[in-house]
């Protein structure tokens, strides 16, 4: 798998600031304000969490980060360079990958085939060479399949590698979706409710893999999640949004004590 050294080679030589900076973004849909002046930054290697009630704007923020949505105001900087106006495939090529709240896999394709779809942003051979599996395309295919096998080993899904994903348990499907995002060689991984719908054992497994991704692969992550126990256990910093506005930010211990956060989301009786 791509390590931190290999990933840093894609960085600009004069980059010294925050990996990602979001500056006062505002997004509206037909007069309804989904994001209202949100600003934050994420540093390299950090695990940053965004929490808030349903409809608070968390997924809308994700959609702005990979340019599925384009804010009407504000700016988003990647390594100091603006990315507003790029297409989602261009942000993926820069190194921003994501998973989805609802599983978005190809049910009739195998685990290997689904993960391979994540490699498309790193494939450079032309369609003609690919069609006939010649020269560069052949070498590239072999290298990409080895990359996929490394990810399969890392996420411990070897036994399901040739199974159609539609036949797999829900928790394993979520792991396959994570594997597909990792196949893109991201520098920033956006995790949209990675443990939603999981039981306790599946949640603990996913938490372990998320920490392994941070510690062993050096990948920066932004996590949106409703499981407060998970967020407070693994996040380095937490931002809280409500009605599209940031109402709190800090390390988990600070957020838990923020009266505005307690009132809006965590509840008066919340305990870490």
Mean pLDDT of 138-166: 91
Residue 8: band (very low, low, confident or very high) from pLDDT cuts 50, 70, 90: very low
Residue 14: band (very low, low, confident or very high) from pLDDT cuts 50, 70, 90: low
Say what angle helices 170-182 and 135-154 make with each other, to 10 degrees: 130
Mean pLDDT of 25-52: 95
Q: Which of 78, 94, 86, 151 is nearest to 117 (CA)?
A: 151
Residue 17: band (very low, low, confident or very high) from pLDDT cuts 50, 70, 90: confident
> In sequence order, which residues have a C-beta less than 8 Å from that of residue 222 and are 6 or more positions away?
20, 42, 48, 49, 50, 62, 65, 188, 189, 190, 191
pLDDT of residue 13: 43
Distance CA 26, CA 13 (A): 31
Distance CA 28, CA 36 (A): 8
Burial profile 249-272: b = 16 or more Cβ within 10 angstroms, e = fewer: beebeebbebeebbebbbeeeeee
Query: Model pTM?
Result: 0.86
pLDDT of residue 125: 56
At the topology level, CATH places domain 1-95+188-195+207-272 in Rossmann fold (3.40.50)
Six token digits for residue 159: 């036994």
Secondary structure (H, E, C), 174-234: HHHHHHHHHCCCCCEEEEECCCCCCCHHHHHHHHHHHHHHHHHHCCEEEEECCCHHHHHHH
Decide if pLDDT at 270 tops 70. no
pLDDT of residue 56: 87
For the domain spanning 102-184, the CATH number is: 3.40.50.300
pLDDT in tens, 186-223: 999 999 999 999 999 999 999 999 999 999 999 999 99
The reply to whether domains 1-95+188-195+207-272 and 102-184 share a CATH topology is: yes
Measuring CA to CA, how many Å separate 58 from each of 116, 260, 269? 28, 17, 24
Decide if pLDDT at 4 tops 50. no
Decide if pLDDT at 132 tops 60. no
- Give the residue carrying structure tokens 């990409």: 144
Decide if pLDDT at 5 tops 50. no
pLDDT in tens, 88-131: 999 999 999 999 888 889 999 999 999 999 988 767 655 555 55
Decide if pLDDT at 261 tops 90. no
Task: State how beta strands 81-82 and 96-98 pair.
Answer: unpaired
Q: Please say whether the beta carbons of 75 and 84 come within 8 A.
A: yes
**Mean pLDDT in the chain?**
87
Distance CA 26, CA 70 (A): 9
The domain locations on the chain are 1-95+188-195+207-272, 102-184
Task: State how beta strands 47-51 and 220-224 pair.
Answer: parallel
């Amino acid at each position: 798998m791509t390590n931190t050294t290999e990933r840093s080679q894609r960085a600009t030589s004069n980059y010294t600031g925050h990996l990602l900076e979001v500056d006062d973004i505002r997004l509206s849909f037909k007069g309804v304000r989904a994001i209202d002046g949100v600003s934050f930054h994420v540093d390299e290697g950090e695990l940053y969490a965004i929490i808030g009630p349903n409809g608070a704007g968390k997924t809308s923020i994700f959609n702005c980060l990979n340019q599925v949505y384009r804010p009407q105001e504000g700016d988003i900087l990647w390594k100091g360079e603006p990315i507003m106006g790029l297409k989602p495939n261009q942000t993926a090529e820069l190194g921003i990958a994501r998973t989805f709240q609802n599983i978005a896999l190809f049910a009739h394709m195998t685990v290997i085939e689904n993960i391979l779809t994540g490699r498309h942003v790193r494939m450079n051979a032309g369609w003609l060479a690919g069609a006939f599996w010649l020269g560069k395309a052949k070498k590239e295919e072999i290298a990409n399949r080895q990359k996929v096998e490394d990810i399969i080993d890392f996420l411990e899904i070897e036994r399901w590698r040739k199974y159609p994903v539609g036949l797999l348990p829900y928790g394993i499907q979520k792991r396959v979706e994570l594997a597909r995002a990792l196949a893109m060689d991201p520098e920033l991984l956006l995790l949209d409710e990675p443990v939603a719908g999981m039981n306790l054992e599946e949640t603990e497994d996913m938490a372990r893999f998320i920490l392994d991704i941070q510690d062993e692969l050096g990948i920066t992550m932004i996590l949106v999640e409703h499981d407060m126990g998970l967020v407070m256990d693994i996040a380095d910093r937490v931002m809280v949004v409500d009605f599209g506005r940031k109402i709190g930010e800090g390390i988990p211990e600070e957020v838990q004590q923020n009266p505005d956060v307690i009132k809006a989301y965590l509840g008066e009786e919340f305990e870490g």
